[in-house]
Amino acid sequence: MSSPDFADLILDPRQPLQSQLYRSLVEWICSGRLSAGSKLPSSRRLSSTLNISRNTVTLVLEQLKAEGFVTSRVGQGVFVSSTLPAYVQKTQHQAWYSQDSDGTAPLPGLSALGQKLQTATAFKTDSGVSLPFSPGIPDLNAFPLSIWSRLYRRHKDRFPLLSYGHSQGHPPLRWALAEYLRSCRGVLCDESQIIITNGAQEALSLCAQVLLGPGDTAIMENPGYRRARWVFQTCGAKLALAELQSGYLDVDALTKSQLHGKVLYTTPTHQYPMGGVMPASERLKLLDWASKTQCWILEDDYDSEFSFKHKPVAALQGMAEHTPVIYMGSFSKSLQPGLRLGYMIVPKPFVQAFARAKEILSGHSPLLAQAVVADFIDEGHFVRHLRKMRINYREKWLHFCDLARDKLEPQAQLIASSAGMHVVLATPGRNDLELSKQLAQHRFGSTPLSFFYPDKSLNHGLVLGFANTSKQQREDCIDLLQSFLTHSFR
């Protein structure tokens, strides 16, 4: 770590400079502002910054060395000592006190949402670490890093990419993405409708900000994506639940329920987490329902690229002209989660509102990453990578399913799915939170199925991502689950 510049150290020229500098440095060391081991500026740099003689600085540093506050390292510089002199009492940081109380004044309070978030319990296996079987992690070992690095080197020295960009996204990426989505997902759009976001989560946030007001109703699949639920609640929306059939949204039940919402969030191509694929006939009925009820459909095309048995059904957005659909996707599963790049397609009359919301809330997404992804798509690497991953994931999916059927039934049942990067194991009568914690202790990730039900459902199970696993890890995980399922977790 480089040494601080001390630009905010102010000396009074009318008072002795040497004693002022000495007292200031001792105070900063004792208070912890200059922590043990931190490097001090050179005497030349310090004298220039403070506009005092170098001789004055040298005398102060020598005094601090003699008293044990700092030490010198030959050829490296002057550093704060690891321990303070024995006679020094470390100063306490100043605290604010209320005038009518002997105790410290309380900090200002949080909003109602902030209080809820403060007290909410969250389950984390290992924060910041991607464990095998953590849902949503692709096979990073199979990522074409050599191609990616070449494209990165092509753009890394381009000065325009170091500046501010268009809040709607890098034009070459929007053009390449529009071409891909039209040809591969049947989406009806051009580049002017695309807004590049910081992951799909920001796309959801933008939809909530632009479409929902306090008290409006947001309809969610049950079970469904938890983070979408949280985003809608943040905007003060009321939640209504739509049930599933065969693992996807039950459109007939939705129509009969007389539910009226401002938005409906759905994952029709690979329902998350249950994995069902909504047939084309049901998608048309859903579009008809949305048109009649004047409800926006937020189509999250989750895992649409990875279908193992059948060709993926075309996107809901592209099944007719002028649909009330906002289409969302990301590169987290298809490329790398670390990119934090997503996208949304907005009907032309409302692009300006969403683009301005993006500009106000976060500004542009990283330009260098956008430029690399644009070339990755335009040169055909993206489609080739997806083709390889379909084969890769299908083999892993078949292997894991065979293991689960052989060793876990009847204690656990595999919920049918033929797409995506995860599987769902139903574990009736077992506490899925405890099972997930047990796996985490052995360095395996998972998400309890009950977390996807907002009503604290008794439906228990595990959501397990298989894309980021090896053959040995799949076998070890199944063996662990077989062992765990012989015990009761209530």
CA-to-CA distance for 205 and 196, rounded, in angstroms?
A: 13
Q: Are strands 238-245 and 248-249 parallel, antiparallel or unpaired?
A: antiparallel
Task: Give the residue from 118, 121, 99 showing the smallest Cα distance to 109.
Answer: 118
CA-to-CA distance for 184 and 38, rounded, in angstroms?
A: 55
CA-to-CA distance for 92 and 194, rounded, in angstroms?
A: 53
**Sheet arrangement for strand 422-426:** 413-415, 422-426, 461-465, 447-448
pLDDT at residue 42, as a whole number = 87
And the tokens for 45? Answer: 């740099």
CA-to-CA distance for 56 and 48, rounded, in angstroms?
A: 12
In CATH, the architecture of 144-379 is 3-Layer(aba) Sandwich (3.40)
* Mean pLDDT of the residues in the chain: 87
64 touches 25 (CB < 8 A): yes
pLDDT at residue 85, as a whole number = 80
Ramachandran class of 54: left when φ > 0, alpha when ψ lies in -120 to 50, beta otherwise: alpha
CA-to-CA distance for 36 and 73, rounded, in angstroms?
A: 14
Q: What is the pLDDT of residues 162-215, one digit of tens each?
A: 888 888 999 999 999 999 999 889 899 999 999 999 988 999 999 999 999 889
Phi, psi of 378 (to 5 degrees): -65, -35
- CATH class for domain 386-484? alpha beta
* Burial letters 345-380, b for 16+ CB under 10 A, else e: bbbeeebeebbebbeeeeebbbbebbbbbbbbbbee
Residue 11: exposure state from Cβ atoms within 10 A (0-12, 13-18, ≥19): middle
Sign of CA dihedral 212, 213, 215, 216: negative
pLDDT at residue 112, as a whole number = 76
Q: What is the pLDDT of residues 392-439, one digit of tens each?
A: 999 999 999 999 999 998 888 888 776 688 999 999 888 889 999 999
pTM here is 0.83
Q: What is the mean pLDDT of residues 327-350?
A: 93
- Res. 95 pLDDT band, cuts 50 70 90: low
CA-to-CA distance for 177 and 401, rounded, in angstroms?
A: 34
Q: What is the mean pLDDT of residues 151-155?
A: 95
* Burial letters 146-174, b for 16+ CB under 10 A, else e: ebbeebbeebeeeeebeeebbbbbbebbb
* Spans of all domains in the chain: 17-80, 144-379, 386-484
pLDDT at residue 321, as a whole number = 86
Q: What is the pLDDT of residues 102-139, one digit of tens each?
A: 555 677 888 877 777 777 655 554 455 688 999 989 99
Q: What is the pLDDT of residues 272-314, one digit of tens each?
A: 998 888 999 999 999 999 999 999 999 998 877 777 766 777 8
CA-to-CA distance for 39 and 42, rounded, in angstroms?
A: 9
Sign of CA dihedral 21, 26, 27, 29: positive
pLDDT at residue 122, as a whole number = 57
Q: What is the pLDDT of residues 238-257, one digit of tens each?
A: 999 999 998 899 999 999 99
17-80, CATH topology level:
Arc Repressor Mutant, subunit A (1.10.10)
pLDDT at residue 126, as a whole number = 45
CA-to-CA distance for 427 and 439, rounded, in angstroms?
A: 14
